[in-house]
Amino acid sequence: MNIDSINNGFVIDHITAGRGMRLFDLLNLDELDCSVALIKNVGSKKLGKKDIIKIDADIDINFDVIGYVNPGITVNIIKNGEIIEKKQIEMPKQLVNVIKCKNPRCITSVEQELDHIFRLTDEENKIYRCLYCETQAGK
Amino acid sequence: MRSLIDILDFSVEEIEELLTVANDIIDNPQKYGEICKGKKLATLFFEPSTRTRLSFEAAMYELGGNVIGFSEANSSSASKGESVADTAKTISCYADIIAMRHPKEGAPFVAAQNATIPVINAGDGGHNHPTQTLADLLTIYREKGGFNNLTVGFCGDLKFGRTVHSLINALSRYSGIRVVLISPEELKLPSYVKKDVLLKNGIPYTQTTSLEDAIPELDILYMTRVQRERFFNEEDYLRLKDSYVLEPKKLTNAKKDLSIMHPLPRVNEISVSIDSDPRACYFKQVLNGKYVRMALILKLLKEAGRI
C-alpha cells in the first residue's frame, strides 16, 4: 500500500497497533481539510505490527494527547519534504480537555464551562485522576 | 489564598498546631471569645447537613464572629443556575471565610480557585470531608495522647465512606499505625486506597468480615453507617445496611481502653446501650469537631491577614 510522502506536517510513527484510531479521534483529525492518513497494522521489525498517522498540514497539534495515548513514541515534523525534528513524546503531567470525567457526582458533570483537567498521579501505572473529584481516568 | 479542601493540604506539623490550638480553646475558652469580632463566616450548604453547619456556626459564634449563609440549594442562587465560581466570587464580597457543603465532588475546590477569601470544604459528595477528619484526629489525640503505635479498626461501609478514606490518609503519616478493615465483601475499602495509601506508606493492614474476631486487638474502633444516599440501587442498600451492629456483648473481649468512634449520624449500627459505656467517644467527637473548626477558622483567617 502506498501513501504519498508529505511536504509540511507530521508523521506519527510506531503507534502501538490498535491505538491509531483512538489517537485519530482524540486529535480530532476528522475535522481537518488536509490529507490525513491512518494506516493500521503496518509490519514493523521492532513492534511486529504498528499504526501510522500522516498529516499533510502544519497544524497546531496537541502533543499531550499523543503522550497520553501512546507515551514514548516519536513524531517526525516535516518541513519542505525534510524531517526537521524527531520529537520524543513523554507522558504529560496534566491533561486539559483531552478526556472527560465520567463520575456523575463530579462538579464537571453539571458545570459545562469548567475545563476537564486530569493529573498524572502514578507514572509507573499510567494513572490519571480528575483534578476535581480524583476519579481515575477511564473508570 | 490558603484553603482547606483535602486533609492532605495540611502538613503533619500544621495539624499538630491546629490540635494544640483546639486543646487550648478547650482549656481557655475565654481567651478566644472576641477574637473574630466583626468577622463573618458564610456557610454555603448546597445540601442539608444540620450537624456540620451548626458546628461551623457555633464555632464562629464562640469566636465572637457572625454567620451568614444558606442551608440548602433551593434557597440559593444555584437554583437560578449560578455557577459555583460566580457564587464564590460574590460571597467573597460579603464574608471573611467560607464553609461549603456541596453534593458535587470538587465543588469546594472550584470555589477555592475563584474566591478571594479562604474556603473550607465542609463535605463534597462522597469525596472529602476534612473537618470531620480533624474532629476524628482531635478525638484520637485527646483519648490516646498521640497517633503513634495504634491499631485502628474501621468497620462498615469502607467503600463509600469518605470519612474512612480521609482518616486512613491522615493516619498514614504517623509511625506504628496498624489498620484492620472490617466490612462485607461488597463494601470493602477500594483497592486504590489500599495501594496508594496503605501499601505506599508501608502501613500493615488486615481485612476481615468478622467484627467479633477483630475487636480484641483494637485501640480504636471506627464505626460507619451504610449511607442510603451513596447507593444508586435501593435493593443493595437494604441488603447491606444491617451488616454490622455494635452491641454490648460484642465488646466482651475488647480492650478496657478501646475508643469507639463514629462520624454520626448513626442509624442502628451502634446500639444506644453502648452510649453509657466509657469507651464510647462519638459524642465527644461532635464536641471536638466544634473546637477544631474554631482552631481552623482562626488559622485560615490569620493566614489571610483578616485577624
The one-character DSSP state at B120 is E
Cα distance between residue B243 and residue A2, in whole Å: 65
Phi, psi of A95 (to 5 degrees): -120, 125
Q: Say which residues have a Cβ less than 8 Å from residue B167's Cβ, sequence separation at least 6.
A: B133, B136, B137, B154, B222
Cα distance between residue B90 and residue B70, in whole Å: 14
Q: With a cut of 70, say whether residue A139 has pLDDT above it.
A: no
A109 → chain B, closest CA residue: B104
Bridge partner residues of B67 (DSSP): B41
Q: What is the pLDDT of residues A79-126, one digit of tens each?
A: 999 999 999 999 999 999 999 999 999 999 999 899 999 999 989 899
Are B211 and B250 within 8 A, CB to CB?
yes
Contact status of A139 with chain B (Cβ, < 8 Å)? no
C-alpha cell belonging to residue A99: 478526556
Quote ipTM for the complex. Answer: 0.89
HEC per residue, chain A: CCCCCCCCEEEEEEEECCCHHHHHHHCCHHHCCCCEEEEEEEEECCCEEEEEEEECCCCCCCHHHHHHHCCCCEEEEEECCEEEEEEECCCCCEEECCCCCCCCCEHHHCCCCCCCEEEEEECCCCEEEECCCCCECCC
Look at residue B230 in the predicted model and tell me its pLDDT: 67
End-to-end distance of chain A based on CA atoms, in angstroms?
38
Look at residue B243 in the predicted model and tell me its pLDDT: 78
Domain boundaries of chain A, sorted by first residue? 9-88, 94-130
Phi, psi of B124 (to 5 degrees): -130, 100
Nearest by CB to B105, from A106, A114, A121: name it. A106
Cα distance between residue B294 and residue B307, in whole Å: 13
- Any idea which fold B7-129+286-303 has? Rossmann fold (3.40.50)
Written out in words, the top-level CATH class of the domain with range B131-285 is alpha beta
Cα distance between residue B245 and residue B242, in whole Å: 7
Q: Which of B39, B40, B53, B101 is catalytic?
A: B101
Contact status of B200 with chain A (Cβ, < 8 Å)? no
Q: With a cut of 90, say whether residue A18 has pLDDT above it.
A: yes
- Any idea which fold A9-88 has? Alpha-Beta Plaits (3.30.70)
Cα distance between residue A20 and residue A73, in whole Å: 12
Residue stretches of chain B with pLDDT short of 50: none
Cα distance between residue B97 and residue A65, in whole Å: 39
Look at residue B79 in the predicted model and tell me its pLDDT: 72
In the residue annotation, B159 being an active-site residue is answered as: no
- Coil, strand or helix: which one is B283? helix
The one-character DSSP state at B22 is H
Domain with CATH 3.40.50.1370 in chain B: 7-129+286-303, 131-285
Match 442502628 to its residue by C-alpha cell: B268
In the residue annotation, B80 being an active-site residue is answered as: yes
Mutation site for A-interface testing, chosen from B8, B105, B162, B196 by largest number of A Cβ within 10 Å: B105
What integer best gives the mean pLDDT of chain A? Answer: 93
Contact status of B48 with chain A (Cβ, < 8 Å)? no
Rg (CA), chain B: 19
Look at residue B255 in the predicted model and tell me its pLDDT: 98
In the residue annotation, B284 being an active-site residue is answered as: no
Cα distance between residue B84 and residue A27, in whole Å: 30
- Indicate the pLDDT class of residue A1, thresholds 50, 70 and 90: low
Cα distance between residue B21 and residue B291, in whole Å: 9
Match 463573618 to its residue by C-alpha cell: B40
Nearest by CB to B83, from A113, A132, A136: name it. A113
Q: Where are the beta strands (DSSP E) in chain B?
A: 40-45, 66-70, 97-102, 119-124, 151-155, 178-182, 205-208, 220-223, 259-261
- Indicate the pLDDT class of residue A2, thresholds 50, 70 and 90: low
